[in-house]
Amino acid sequence: MRILHVIRSLDPRGGGPIEFMNSISAEWAKSGHDCDLVTLDASTDPLVSRSPLTTFALGTEATSGYVSGRGYGYSPRLVPWMREHAAFYDIVIVHGLWNYASVGSWRGLRNTGVPYFVFTHGMLDPWFNRAFPIKAAVKTVLWKGLENRVLRDACGVLFTTTEERDLAGRSFQPYSARPFVVGLGTRDIQGKATAQRLAFTQRMPDLDGRRFILFLSRIHPKKGIDLLIRAFAQQAKMQPDLDLVVAGPDQVGLQSTLQSLAEDLGVASRVHWPGMLTGDAKLGAFVASEFFALTSHQENFGVAIAEALALAKPVLITDKVNIWRDIEEDGAGIVVTDDIDGVSKGLAQLCVMSLEKRASISNNARRCFENRYDLRRIATSMIELMYDKSRSWNANAKRVTASGPA
């Protein structure tokens, strides 16, 4: 199949969708499927030249990147490009909502007969409406005017979990979609653990030989990092050899507030902020950690959880992470409530756990990854679903002809 991805930006600070898109495309390529990419980044953006996919950058300097491109990202080139080239592809996958990549794709694909799927990546969770009411008011206008039609006219709307699918219909009205749960995952971890650990300790030499809890994700209010720091402070006196690493990009200027919180709680010297980790340094952080913690108030999946499981690391997550039932059922970690008491009890449980119990959870974590989140399984089932749905779509749609994009 010829597949076209559409995404707002390739900036990795935008979270897991970019990594997932690249990883699953690599898996599909092994089976002979060709994947291209349209982004609203500028063609001069270094991320475009480094993209592993054939990439058509239709944006400008104003729409490029995550930080500078936080706005809607309108590009007048997207609709004409779609109308000219979309019929070269068997299916189009639009990643995310609330920007011109989704609306422009919908406009450009109308009346072409080309089936498209929308991967929401958790962007329809009603938690966002409660947490950010001003943004919710703006989204309501966008939804009623355009975004609801993006889902309504799609061949399918893709969700990572049944919980995400069920919550999506509660955010905005009118809501009409053909929902499918396809799961999410990551590629198995390759490379030598010793080299990965070394790459991390070279980045963070103060942690060489220290035990630490790892948080690795965007620094954002929904991630509940304040809960993790407060809970860590409660455990710190009883665990004098244990530190906390908060790794990730500071998306909204929250880090300074969190650092002040750690200072006020007397644990600033034991909370470390390496910024965004990539490559072996990122994998080395997982390898060297005691366990992984993601104390989110909302999370449709959390690719970093799958990475931790692949490396047989126990995970501590809240019951607001939509895969918590999988973790609990497989005994791959500890599930807690998203409050200080819950997180503190979870930390205490993991910190004092016997070596035998820790080894058992580690084994369970690895099996959980293999059975549920290995990207090879996800890639196979997802392509089969899209092929089946697009065939029935094509049977009822008139296709225009097009040459391949130049």
- Enclosing H/E stretch for 102: helix 100-109
CATH superfamily of 193-373: Glycogen Phosphorylase B; (3.40.50.2000)
Task: Assess whether pLDDT exceeds 70 at residue 247.
Answer: yes
* Nearby residues of 318 by Cβ (< 8 Å), 6 or more positions away: 224, 294, 295, 296, 297, 299, 324, 335, 336, 337, 338, 342, 343
Q: 């080139």: which residue's tokens?
A: 77
Contacts of 72 (CB under 8 A, 6+ apart): 99, 100
Instruction: Report the run of H or E that residue 82 belongs to, with start and end.
Output: helix 78-85
At residue 379, the pLDDT reads: 94
CA trace torsion 285, 291, 293, 299 (10° rounding) = 90
- Is there a cis peptide before residue 314, judged by omega within 30 degrees of 0? no
**C-alpha span between 58 and 78 (Å, rounded):** 6
User: pLDDT tens for residues 276-310?
Assistant: 999 999 999 999 999 999 999 999 888 899 999 99
- Both tokens of residue 288? 């060297």
pLDDT surpassing 60 at residue 95: yes
- Tally Cβ neighbours within 10 Å of residue 400: 12
**Residue range 311-335: mean pLDDT, rounded:** 96
Q: What is the pLDDT of residue 69?
A: 44
Q: Are the folds of 2-185+375-395 and 193-373 the same?
A: yes
Distance CA 95, CA 158 (A): 10
pLDDT, mean over the chain? 92
Q: Mean of the pLDDT values across residues 47-70? A: 81
Count the neighbouring beta carbons within 10 Å of the beta carbon of residue 206. 10
- Concatenating the DSSP letter of every residue in 16-54 gives HHHHHHHHHHHHHHHTT-EEEEEESS-TT-HHHHT-SSE
Give the whole-number percent of the chain exceeding pLDDT 90: 83
b/e string for 154-176 if b means 16 or more Cβ within 10 A? bbbbbbbbebbbebbeebbeeee
Residue 68, pLDDT score:
45
DSSP letters spanning 246-284: EES-BSSS-HHHHHHHHHHTT-GGGEEEEE---HHHHHH
Answer whether CATH 3.30.450.40 is correct for domain 2-185+375-395: no
Task: Pick the closest to residue 26 from 240, 167, 143, 190 (CA basis).
Answer: 190
CA distance 217 to 307: 12
Judged against a pLDDT cut of 60, whether residue 401 lies above it is answered with no
pTM: 0.86
DSSP class per residue in 347-401: HHHHHT--HHHHHHHHHHHHHHIIIIIBHHHHHHHHHHHHHHHHHHHHHTSPPPP
Query: How confident is the model over 267-275, as a mean pLDDT?
Result: 97
Domain extent listing, the chain: 2-185+375-395, 193-373
pLDDT surpasses 90 at 14: no
Confirm if 27 and 375 have CB atoms less than 8 A apart.
Answer: yes
How high is the pLDDT of residue 403?
52
Across 18-23, average pLDDT? 89
Mean pLDDT of 144-155: 95
Q: Are 183 and 159 in contact (CB under 8 A)?
A: no
Enumerate the β-bridge partners of residue 180. 158
